[in-house]
Every structure is written in C-alpha cells, then in structure tokens.
Structure 1
Amino acid sequence: MTLSLPGWQKRLLLILSALAVVALFALAFSTGRMSAAPTYPDTTSADAGFARDMQAHHNQAVEMSLIVRDKVDDETLRAVAYDIATTQQQQAGQMYAWLEEWGLSQSSSQPRMQWMSAGSGDHGGMDMGAAGSSGSMLESDGRMPGMATDEQLDQLRAASGDDAARLFLNLMITHHLAGVDMAKAGAELGTTDQVRDLALKMQAGQQSEIALMRSLLDKL
C-alpha cells in the first residue's frame, strides 16, 4: 500500500531534507577547518626554550661585535664583527616573532637550557652534568655556556687595538662553540620546521665563522 501525502507535507519533507544536507556540509566544512588549524609548541617545548635561550645568547654576541668593531682597524675583523652583529640580530628577531606567533611569553620560569635535557643526554659534546650533580647545563654562576662574564665584557670595552682583537676573538670563538652545540640540540629536539631549519643554518654559519676567527687569531 502506497502512502499518499498532501502536497504541503511533501514540500515540508523536501525543505527538511535540504536543510539536513546543508547542515551536513556545514559540519564537514567546520570539521575540516578545525583539523587544518595550525598547532603551536607549548611554553615548555624545546622549540620555545630554544627561541628564548638562543635570543639571549645571540644578544650578547651582537653586543660584543658592536663593541670591538669600533676598536680595531683590521678590515677583515671589522667585517666579521659586522656580519655576526647583523646576522644574529636578524635571527634573534625571527625567534622573537615565533614566540609572538605561538602566543608565548618571551621569558619563562623554566630554567635556562632545561629544554636540552629532553631526548639524548648529550648534544654535540655538551656534558649535562657540567655544572654539577643537578644536571643543569648552566655555569656555576648561572651563565649559559659560552657567555662572557660581566668582567670580560668590561675588559673588552676597555681594550683597544690588537688587545681588543685578541680578547674578542677568544671570547667569540668560545661563544660560538657553545652556540653550535645549542643549535645542534635545536635541530634534534625541535618539532617545527622553523626551529629545525634555522638551527641547522646557525650551526653551519657559526662553524664557518669559528674557522675564520681562528685563522685571524693565529695571525695575531
């Protein structure tokens, strides 16, 4: 037996069917958009730790480079100092922008370099227990490896000529060696292409600069 519906009921069923199809399309579109939404690192991630700590490390390299550039006449050394200052200033700006994009603060209560304790306990030869049994990678006075002390920075400001050049090269080679180790860890532990790609670029660039600075130091 075939059920015959009045015309108005047929029209109502058609309208309801059409609305159901529209609702299904809307749900599928919304679900697709939600699944495609970008996910960002959280504040305790290696990505965030790398961005924060490498900014601080870079900022001191920029400071030392600007100090020595006005104290030496050697054009090669002046060019090296300028390149370090401009490159690391630009990279620090990139990392600042990442944290802004990720909705994270530029500072954290998390200890410096704690992000490097994830995964492998050794990164590029850096000893996780270098500062004691606590497992901290910081120096005993709280500095990150490679960072010059306040006294060394004062010595650099007071020096001139070849003395300034020697001090700068020794400080910056030490600074870069630690920076390379941090970059290796960033490339290994980072979860974003942004961090991994820049970390690899830093590693290659600073290794090249170390070789050049060592050759300049030998000439002195």
Structure 2
Amino acid sequence: MTAPTTTDRDLTEGPVTDDGGRPAARRFGVLVVAAAVVVGLLLGYAGGLLTPKLTRPGDASAEAGFARDMTSHHAQAVAMGLIAFQRGTDPEVVSIGGDIATGQQGEIGTMQTWLRSWGLDPSGSQPRMAWMPDGEDTVRDGLMPGMATPEELAKLRAAQGRELDVLFLELMIRHHIGGIHMIDGVLDVSDQPDVVRTARTMKNTQQTDLTNLRAALDRLKG
C-alpha cells in the first residue's frame, strides 16, 4: 500500500484570479508543499531506519497490520490535504491542508520503513483492520474508520470556494476521528517502543489538528 503520487499537472492547476501574480504565487506555494511532502517521506524513511530493532513483529501482528492500514488511511489524508492546499480559498484551510499532507507523508515513510526492517511486504494477506479486536466490523465497503467514500472524494475535487473549504474540514474531522480510533487500537496491544512512540505522536498531532479543524469549521459556518 503506497501513497498516491501527485503529478506536476495536478499540482499546478490552480484557481483563476483577476490578479496576474496570485496564480503564480499559488503554483509556487504548491510546488513548495509538494517538495516538502517528498522531504517528509524521506525523513520518515530515515526515522524508521533509526528505530531500535528489538524483536521483529510477524506478518499477522498488530504492528504490521497497523502500519499497512494506516499507510492507506494516511494516503487519503495526504490527497485531501493537497486538494485543500491547492484549491482552498480560506487561508487557514490552505495552511491546515498543507500541514496534514506533509506531516502524514512523513509518517507513511516511517511505517513503510518499519515493514522493510521487519522483513515484511508493504501489503499482507490479512483483511483490513483484522489486527484490531473487532476491527473488521469497522470496515464499510472496504473503507477503514473515518475514510471518505469515492463519491465524497469526487465531490471534494469538484467543489470550489467556500463549499470546498467546508467539505474538506468536515471530511478531515471524520477522517482524524477514525485515525485516532486505529491509533488507540495499536497502543492497546503493542509493546514495540518505536511503534508506541510514533503512535503517541500521531495521536497528539491529530488531536491538535481536530481542535484547529473544528474551530475553522465553526468560523466558516458561523
């Protein structure tokens, strides 16, 4: 399971404005965030390589399942974050989208490095969420907790202006709530120091994000 790639064309298509300088500035900003996403991924890989190797979780372990499933979960957040950064109109939404895209791409790098260091494939034979007690019951139409449906993603891509800003915030709030549920699941069972440490950092970051996402949504809907 790997994160979606973003082409130069995807990144440089921005909203048309009356000010000739603003589209160029937005394109430059998008390219900067795209570069930051790549750097974050590389740093995530490096961080994963530096983690201690005490015991190696097996293919059916909670740690391996979490790394695989959270990689896919994060990949959707990266895609939505880039949409908000590229095409959002509210400055706070643009900033939040860029931060989520770069931060979660780095965490994807860390989790993929774990799998390689454990001698495991990026994808396993276990069903999604099977690593978590009753986790398979949380999967709906192949989607893990909080994930947007294909129809919701299509609506986000087609939205413009304030509609896009609000929809992004609503989808990302739900996405983060689902992600925290998964993080709590691995924290309940894992004794791997690097996994526990990274999962706690993920949870703290997403809880902070939720505060900012909800405040921005209240402001835009107020």
Into which bin does the TM-score normalised by the smaller protein fall?
Answer: 0.7 to 0.9
1:20-169 map, 5 Å? 38-117=54-133, 128=134, 136-139=137-140, 141-169=141-169
Q: Deviations over 1:33-64 (max 9, x none)?
A: xxxx8420000001101100000000000000
Q: CA deviation at 1:71?
A: 1.5
Q: Is the 8 A contact 1:188 1:196 kept in 2?
A: no
* TM-score under structure 1 length normalisation: 0.74
Matched residues in 1 for 2:69 and 2:81: separation?
19
SS of 1:52's equivalent in the other structure is helix
| Counterpart Cα distance in 1 of 2:70 and 2:88 | 27
Shift of 1:73: 2.5
Identity %: 45
Matches of 2:203 and 2:177, distance apart in 1: 9
Q: Residue 69 of structure 1: CA displacement?
A: 1.3
- Please, which runs of 5 or more residues in structure 1 have no aligned partner? 1-36, 118-127, 130-134
Corresponding residue SS for 1:204: helix
Which residue pairs with 2:200 in the alignment?
A: 200
Gaps of 5+ in 2: 1-52
Number of residue equivalences: 168
The superposition leaves residues 62-98 of structure 1 with CA deviations (integer Å, 9 ceiling, x where unpaired) of: 0001012121232221111111000000000100000
Alignment partners' CA distance in 2, 1:72 and 1:51: 30
CA radius of gyration, larger in: 1
Counterparts of 2:66 and 2:197, CA distance in 1: 13
